[in-house]
Amino acid sequence: MWVAFDGTEFHGWQTQPGFRTVQELLEQTARRALRHPVTISGSGRTDSGVHAAAHVCHFDTTREFPAESLRHALGSRLPKDIAIIALRDVNRQFHATRSAISKLYRYRIHHALRRPVEQVSQRYAYHHWHDLDVARMQEAARHFVGEMDFTAMTATRGIRESMVRRVIRCDVERHLDEVRIDVEGTGFLYRQVRNMVGTLIHIGRGRWEPDRLAEILASKDRTKAGPTAPACGLSLRWVRYPAHLLRPEACDDGEMGLVDADGT
């Protein structure tokens, strides 16, 4: 199931007692439609306030239900800040988290004196009106690419047995009044992307030289990096899976599938 949501009013993906979360809402809706307990697994745990154009999740059901009919049954019960983009039967071996090859997050910075409300994007972009040197940010971003220890880019509560993650690309581009930072990786630590963005903003403002980023990463010290960028600017754009797992019947052709906002 490919789900898009405006994360502003959600307390993240993962179910948390007493809070409105995407996972809990989807599970409640699926239980009503299928009339049996449902556990939904997602491709990742988005933070409170983070958005998604195509968050991927999966669940098992014992009911015979055409996929398109089920999409309609679930979607018609959901509030306006969440939508099911597509739903399909997949291979029994598919797992939204463990089967993922890579995913891409985009961070949007509204870089202008005037507020983003003029573009009706205040809920989806971080308003930063100070000067930013995009060329410096691009130069620094290359230090994020590769497989390395990202301890310096995660919060204390995000400490894992292994802090090594692989970033495939980190692109910084300007689009009119917006600076976009696209980060593709095989997996991410808690608040890793938002801390990467906050550090790039510091460099873009001229507070640090681009090459200082290599020293920050080598230090494995979160206090040496930049601040955590606000959640509102971040969205999950797509998740990539092996194509044969996206089909009900097993196949060993080795194809890769890109799951985008259309669920294709």
Active site residues per annotation: 47
Per the DSSP assignment, residues forming a β-bridge with 123 are none
CA gap 73, 30 in Å, rounded: 9
CA gap 54, 83 in Å, rounded: 10
Q: Which two three-digit tokens encode residue 219?
A: 């230090």
Q: How many CB atoms lie within 10 A of CB 6?
A: 17
Nearest to 55 by CA among 45, 65, 63, 64: 45
DSSP H or E segment with residue 199: helix 192-204
- Per DSSP, 130 falls in state S
What string of H, E and C letters represents the secondary structure of 97-151?
A: CCCCCEEEEEEEEECCCCCHHHHCCCCCCEECCCCCCHHHHHHHHHHHCEEEECH
Backbone angles phi, psi at 16, to 5 degrees: -140, 125
CA gap 193, 186 in Å, rounded: 13
Residue type at position 212? R
Long-range contacts of 161-166 (CB under 8 A, 24+ apart): 163/189, 163/220, 165/189, 165/192
Nearest to 43 by CA among 107, 95, 105: 95
Pairing label, strands 51-58, 234-242: parallel
